[in-house]
Every structure is written in C-alpha cells, then in structure tokens.
Structure 1
Amino acid sequence: MNKGPWTAEEDKILMDYVKKNGPRDWSSIQSNGLLPRTGKSCRLRWVNKLRPNLKSGCKFTLEEERAVIDMQARFGNKWARIATFLEGRTDNDVKIFWSTRQKRLARLLQTPLPVRSQRRQKNSPVSSQVPDSDDVLLQNLNSPSIEFIKFTECYVNGKKLDYI
C-alpha cells in the first residue's frame, strides 16, 4: 500500500479510470490492481486535486464569499456541507477562506487608532486637518476585503445583550 506522495503516473491512471467508469466505486481501483492506494485515498485525490472543475488557488468571487458567510451562519463550521453548494470548491478551500477572513477581521479590529493631538471643535480650522477617530475607524471597517454580517441578537455567557 503506497502512502507517500502521488506521482504523475498514478494521477493519469486515476484520471483514466474516472473517465472510463465515472467518479464512483473507488475501492475497485485497488481490488483490480490498478493502483496501490486505498479507495478513500483515490476518492480524496480526485475530489481535492484532479476534478476538472476545481477552482483551487483561485480567489473567491464576491458571490462565493457571501454564500460562505450565509451558510456558515446557518450550518456552522460544516465545511464539506458548505462546499457542496459552491461549484469547484473543496471543503478545505472553504475552511481556508473562512479562517483567513476571520484572522484578517481580527487583525483589523485590533489595529490601534491614531492618537489625536488636538481636540476637534466645530468650525475650527483644525477640524478639517485632524481626522476624527471615528472617521479613521470607518475607513478601516469599510475595506473592500472585509464584509460584515449584521447581527440582530448577541449573547454573552447565555445572556442576551441589547443593542444601542
């Protein structure tokens, strides 16, 4: 049983098998002596690397991003289930997208705001030169690479918080 990296020759044998028999009955690949790999290994190789419609390595479209955000809110971290709704995306693609997005969002929210040297006053000539910290925060939060979900309820330690 081969457990190492896949070779180009093994990939070709697997692709020829799927072309002839379709993407099913993975265990027969091993039982017929075509490859020294388990059926599970063959299926995963096909699904995650060899499928013709894979988009791995491609940036998610805005529609895909919105779909992942919506489905993650509904299904939680069920990446395989979410991936079934996204043509050409694997569960790992979706998981990596979500993880990267969460890290980027956390980094953005932890970015310190610039310290204001003067207090802004209405009709002050300084007011147009020194940005309000709220303006800076809004500029950062409106980054096109970050999309936010509007929450209607928030719970902390099982207690519902009211929004202001």
Structure 2
Amino acid sequence: MPSAVPSSRGSSPVLRLCRFAAMGTVAALILVAGVWASWGTAQYVMLTKGRERGTVEVGRCGAQTCSGPYAPSSRGSQPRAEVVLEKSVAVEEGGTYPVVLEPDGERAVRSGPAGILYAWVPLGGALLLASVVVAGGLLRTRAAWVLASSGAVLLTAAFLAI
C-alpha cells in the first residue's frame, strides 16, 4: 500500500536548478565586485602608457594617506611639491616609492610589481569568498579549491611583494 506522505529523499530537479542558479549568481557577483574594486587602481598601474611616472619621497603620513614631493621619471611629467599616496602597511615616512599619477595629477598609485599585486588584493579576497559559495552552495569542491588557491596565492604574493 502506497504511503500518503511523500518521500523526502531528494529535492526536486526544479529546486536544485534554482539553488544552482542562485548560488552561481552570488558567486559571479562576488567575483565581478572583486574585479571592479581592483580595477579602479589597477588600471593606472597596469596601463602606464601616456601616464606620468616617477617617485614619491614620503614626508608625512596621516590616518588614511601619506604625502610628499614627486620627482618625475617619464617624459613630459612635471615635478610636484606634493602628491597624495594611499597609506598602507608598506608605506612609511622617509621612504621613496615608484608611483604612477592619476589623471588629476594630485593622487599617486604605487607602481611596479608590488603596486600591481597590491591593486589586485580585493580580487584575492573575492576569490576566497566565492570559493566558500561555490563549495557550499554549488557543491563543486574542485572549482572551490581552485578559486581558494588562486586567492591565497594572490594575497600571499601581494604580502611578500609589499
């Protein structure tokens, strides 16, 4: 005699598809947000053709930024009495750092390998976060390990370079 209570051994294909679509969308949004957050700085560091390049000797640091005189190293760039550089753990007073100036000419972004890796740190964090969503929501452990490993390598390389 058949039972009146439906079996709950597995979820319906429609629910699995909805879960897959929702978690895939969340993972994709996390990765897009990581790229978006990184590209704001990375574009200046990676696409330097036609941009002003030089060095900044940090004279003083505040809570969020450091500043100092700018010495140009690229053709057409003019020296400036003061440019602003984002304060990070690797920027200290008295240090000289290679930079690329943003188009307004007042803000500088670290350049070179350390600057490139530092610019992509938000993507590294997004890769780590997306790996949790992919593993838990999509049940794709291999893809999650690839994402997590990529994020960890990026963050470690940025830490070592800076």
Using structure 1 for the length normalisation, give the TM-score: 0.31
Q: Which has the higher contact order (CA 8 A, sep 6+)?
A: 2
Q: Which has the larger radius of gyration?
A: 1
Larger strand fraction of residues: 2
Using structure 2 for the length normalisation, give the TM-score: 0.31
